[in-house]
Chain A
Amino acid sequence: MKENLFLAEIAAGDESAFHSFFNFFYEELVSYAYKHLYDQAESEDLVQEAFIYIWENASNLQVHTNMRSYMYSMVRNRCINRLKKLSVVDYDHAIDLNTIFEDSSVFPVFEENEEDVHSLITAVINSFPEKMREIFLLRIKHNYKYQQIAEHSGVSVNTVKTQLKRAKEKISKMVFSSFFF
Chain B
Amino acid sequence: MDFKLIIRKIEGRLSAEEQIIFDQWYDESESHREYFRKVSSGYNKPTLQINKDKAWLRLKREISTPVKPRYNWRYGVAASLVLLALASIAFFMNNKDDTENLVAEQVIEAGSDKAILTLADGTEVDLQSGQSYNAQGVTSNGEFIKYEGQQEKLEYHYLTIPRGGEFYMELSDSTKVWLNADTRIKYPTKFIAGQPRQVELVYGEAYFDVSPSAHNHGDHFIVATGAQKVEVLGTEFNIRAYKQDRNTTTTLVEGSVQLEVADQEISMKPKDQVTFNYESKGLSKKEVVVHDYISWKDGFFSFNESNLASIAENLNRWYDVQIVFADEEVKNIKFNGVFSRELGLNKILNLLGKTSNISYEIEDNKIEIKQKGE
Contact = CB atoms under 8 A, between A and B. Distances in A.
Contacts of B211: 41
Interface residues of B, number: 37
A91 B5 CA distance: 12
Contacts, number: 95
B4 A94 contact: yes
A176 B48 contact: no
A39 B217 CA distance: 11
Nearest to B52: A26
B8 A176 contact: yes
Contacts of A55: 63
Given A86-B35, A89-B2, A92-B2, A176 B11 contact: yes
A38 B44 CA distance: 11
B47 interface: yes
Nearest to A55: B63
B35 A38 contact: yes
Which of B25, B43, B50, B62 is most buried by chain A, counting CB atoms within 10 A of its CB?
A: B50
Contacts of A176: 4, 7-8, 11, 13
A112 interface: no
Interface in A16-52: 18-19, 22-23, 26-27, 30-31, 34, 37-42, 44-45, 48, 51-52
Nearest to B24: A87
Contacts of B62: 48, 52
B234 to A, nearest CB: 10
A23 B53 CA distance: 8
Interface of A is mostly: helix
B35 A31 contact: no
A88 B50 contact: no
Interface of B is mostly: helix
Which of A15, A38, A52 is most buried by chain B, counting CB atoms within 10 A of its CB?
A: A38
B108 interface: no
A91 B4 CA distance: 10
B305 interface: no
A23 B50 contact: no
B28 interface: yes
B246 interface: no
B334 interface: no
A23 B52 contact: yes
A23 B63 CA distance: 16
What's the interface size class on A, roughly? Answer: 35 or more
Nearest to A42: B174
B56 interface: yes
A84 to B, nearest CB: 11
Interface string B42-59: 111001101010011011
B63 A52 contact: yes
A158 interface: no
A95 interface: yes
A39 B32 contact: no
A87 B3 contact: no
B215 interface: yes
A44 B51 CA distance: 10
Contacts of A116: none
B11 A40 contact: no
Contact of B3 (A23, A34, A40, A94): A94
Contact of A91 (B2, B13, B41, B174): B2
Interface of B: 1-4, 6-8, 11, 13, 25, 28-29, 31-32, 35, 38-39, 41-44, 47-48, 50, 52, 55-56, 58-60, 62-64, 174, 211-212, 215
18 contacts: A15-B63, A22-B59, A26-B55, A27-B50, A31-B48, A38-B41, A40-B48, A44-B50, A56-B63, A87-B28, A87-B32, A88-B1, A88-B25, A88-B35, A90-B3, A92-B2, A102-B44, A176-B7
Given A102-B44, A175-B4, 20 more contacts: A22-B52, A27-B52, A31-B48, A37-B38, A38-B42, A39-B38, A40-B48, A40-B215, A48-B62, A55-B63, A86-B31, A88-B1, A88-B2, A88-B25, A91-B2, A92-B2, A92-B4, A103-B47, A176-B7, A176-B8
Sorted nearest first, the 7 A-B pairs with minimum C-beta distance are A38-B38, A38-B42, A90-B3, A41-B174, A38-B39, A27-B50, A26-B52
Interface of A: 15, 18-19, 22-23, 26-27, 30-31, 34, 37-42, 44-45, 48, 51-52, 55-56, 83, 85-92, 94-95, 98, 102-103, 105, 175-176
